[in-house]
């Protein structure tokens, strides 16, 4: 048996060793609210940071250059996969040096942003700011690197996408809902327009001072500003690609897929900034679909709706973009069961107008927990923080979101829920199209 005292002592000692004493003292003194992001401009670049005095740092460079802004299909995906390839130093050297420092590098692509990420020990901030700056300024975009490394990883992702019916359905739903721009495919479905030259051109369009934000969690703002000014000074100035505001269209689409069946039902949602309508977030939690406890279908509307249909799951999510949003329900399961599941889901959505106050309260509590839990995690929220900083020069604060969630009333949620089915819905069925239902079968107007 382990003595209880040993168990208790372990972690705290570990922490004490990881955090240098002087820093811990400093941080403890300066931190009043560890979730508060401060924003500033350093040589024309938005620098956003928060510092909770912890031993590790998550750093991200958010560039407004996701698939929404690309000038030919697939450029954003190609550019994202070119991150951390040969620049001033070789890709291999960067990778090995990062490993020696105990850090990790990565990049992600969303519809709106290309995000370069780094996680590392607090003291290594200058090294990683320089590494991310090198990607933006000095990447060589060699043709052979594209052929040898970039194209194969892209193809791998695209293959995976084609084998995931739910992802295919969500992608098609965006296309139906927003048409071009925001609705264009996130991944490069074809390599036809991708050459190292076209990717280089796109990088010049996207990687410039007015179009990026440097976001850090766990780094002091003055240090971050100083290093950003030093390493990003060669980055050309500019304001990035122009784009038409997104418009919601809605409609129906059916795709054959041999890899499984999925349905996505989507409705217009709320934009992320400057004034997000949080009732849509609450609606997505009210519909829910994910159980909070293991081996249990859960009490949310959607999990109740499909609980009688075996091997079927329906999950609601809300995604917010800069000027619009999408509230969508993904239903997965055997094709033969999806008609019934779809009908149940639509009647659950219809029942939102008469939502019970205790259900709304539960949804708000869940939403609040997820917001705060995401804020505690160093690396989750960086993209949305950067996105808002680029768009408005301000950082979204967690306190604000929590306050907004607190002020949501049952009436506003009910009203928003009623409004959903009044607007034109988006319906996508992927899989065995012979047996999958049409929107009209489920009682949706598209």
Partner 1 sequence: MSFASGVALRRAVAARPWLHKIVVPIAEKYNDLAGYRKVGLVQDDLISDENEIVQEALKRLPPKVSYDRVYRLRRAVQCSLAHTILPKEEQTKPEADISYLMPYIEEVERERKEREELDSLTRAR
Task: Give contact residues for partner 1 (rule: CB under 8 A).
Answer: 90, 92-93, 96, 100, 143-144, 147-148
CA distance 425 to 173: 10
Nearest to 385 by CA among 80, 84, 38: 38
371 φ/ψ angles, rounded to the nearest 5 degrees: -60, -45
| Closer by beta carbon to partner 1, 86 or else 379 | 86
The sign one gets for the Cα dihedral 56, 223, 134, 187 is positive
Query: What pairing do the DSSP bridges indicate for beta strands 114-121 and 313-320?
Result: unpaired
Helices (H), 326-427: 338-350, 357-376, 382-392, 398-406, 410-422
Select from 349, 304, 355 the least CA-distant residue to 442. Answer: 349
Beta pairing class for 45-50 and 212-217 = parallel
Query: Which tokens in the block code for residue 233?
Result: 């000074």
The dihedral formed by the CA atoms of 230, 234, 238 and 244, expressed in degrees to the nearest 10? -90
CA distance 211 to 391: 9
Compute CA distances 308 → 178, 337, 351, whole Å: 34, 10, 18
Measured CA to CA, the distance from residue 141 to residue 258 in angstroms comes to 36
Peptide bond into 209 cis (omega under 30): no
Residues 6+ apart with CB under 8 A from 102: 120, 121
- The edge-to-edge listing of strands for the beta sheet with 114-121 is 38-42, 45-50, 212-217, 56-63, 114-121, 104-109
CB 328 within 8 A of CB 317: yes
Of 96 and 204, the one with the shorter C-beta distance to partner 1 is: 96
* Closer of 33 and 90 to partner 1 (Cβ): 90
Would you say 387 and 112 are in contact if contact means Cβ atoms under 8 Å apart?
Answer: yes
Closer Cβ to partner 1, 98 or 281, answer by number: 98
Torsion of Cα atoms, 254 then 423 then 242 then 228, to 10°: -90
Instruction: Provide, rounded to whole angstroms, the least separation between the CB of residue 96 and partner 1.
Output: 5
Between 90 and 190, CB nearer to partner 1: 90
Residues 6+ apart with CB under 8 A from 445: 421, 424, 425, 439
């Amino acid at each position: 048996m382990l003595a209880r005292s040993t168990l208790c002592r372990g972690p705290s000692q570990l922490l004490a060793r990881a955090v240098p004493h002087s820093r811990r003292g400093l941080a403890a003194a300066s931190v009043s609210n560890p979730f508060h992001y401060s924003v500033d401009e350093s040589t024309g670049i938005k620098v956003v940071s928060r510092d909770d005095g912890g031993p590790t740092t998550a750093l991200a460079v958010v560039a407004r250059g996701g698939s929404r802004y690309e000038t030919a299909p697939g450029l954003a995906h190609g550019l994202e996969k070119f991150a951390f390839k040969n620049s001033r130093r070789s890709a291999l050297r960067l990778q090995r040096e990062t490993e020696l420092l105990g850090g990790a590098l990565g990049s992600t692509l969303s519809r709106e942003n290309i995000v370069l990420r780094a996680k590392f020990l607090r003291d290594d901030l200058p090294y990683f700011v320089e590494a991310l700056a090198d990607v933006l300024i000095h990447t060589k975009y060699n043709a052979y690197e594209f052929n040898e490394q970039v194209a194969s990883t892209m193809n791998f992702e695209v293959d995976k996408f084609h084998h995931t019916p739910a992802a295919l359905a969500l992608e098609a739903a965006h296309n139906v809902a927003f048409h071009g721009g925001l609705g264009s495919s996130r991944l490069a479905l074809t390599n036809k327009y991708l050459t190292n030259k076209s990717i280089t051109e796109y990088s010049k369009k996207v990687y410039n001072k007015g179009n990026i934000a440097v976001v850090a969690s766990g780094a002091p703002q003055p240090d971050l500003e100083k290093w950003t000014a030093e390493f990003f000074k060669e980055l050309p100035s500019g304001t990035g690609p122009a784009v038409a505001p997104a418009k919601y269209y809605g409609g129906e689409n059916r795709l054959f897929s041999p890899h499984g069946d999925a349905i996505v039902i989507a409705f217009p949602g709320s934009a992320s900034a400057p004034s997000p309508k949080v009732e849509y977030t609450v609606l997505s939690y009210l519909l829910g679909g994910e159980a909070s406890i293991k081996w249990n279908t859960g009490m949310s509307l959607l999990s109740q709706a499909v609980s009688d249909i075996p091997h079927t799951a329906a999950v609601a999510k809300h995604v917010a973009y800069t000027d619009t949003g999408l509230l969508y329900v993904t239903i997965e399961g055997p094709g033969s069961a999806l008609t019934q599941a779809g009908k149940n889901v639509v009647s659950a959505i219809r029942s939102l107008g008469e939502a019970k106050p205790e259900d709304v309260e539960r949804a708000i509590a869940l939403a609040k927990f997820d917001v705060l839990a995401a804020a505690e995690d160093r690396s989750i929220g960086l993209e949305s923080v950067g996105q808002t900083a680029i768009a408005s020069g301000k950082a979204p604060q967690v306190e604000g979101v929590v306050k907004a969630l607190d002020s949501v009333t049952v009436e506003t949620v009910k009203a928003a829920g009623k409004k959903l089915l009044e607007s034109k819905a988006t319906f996508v069925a992927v899989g065995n199209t012979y047996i999958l239902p049409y929107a009209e079968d489920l009682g949706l107007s598209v």
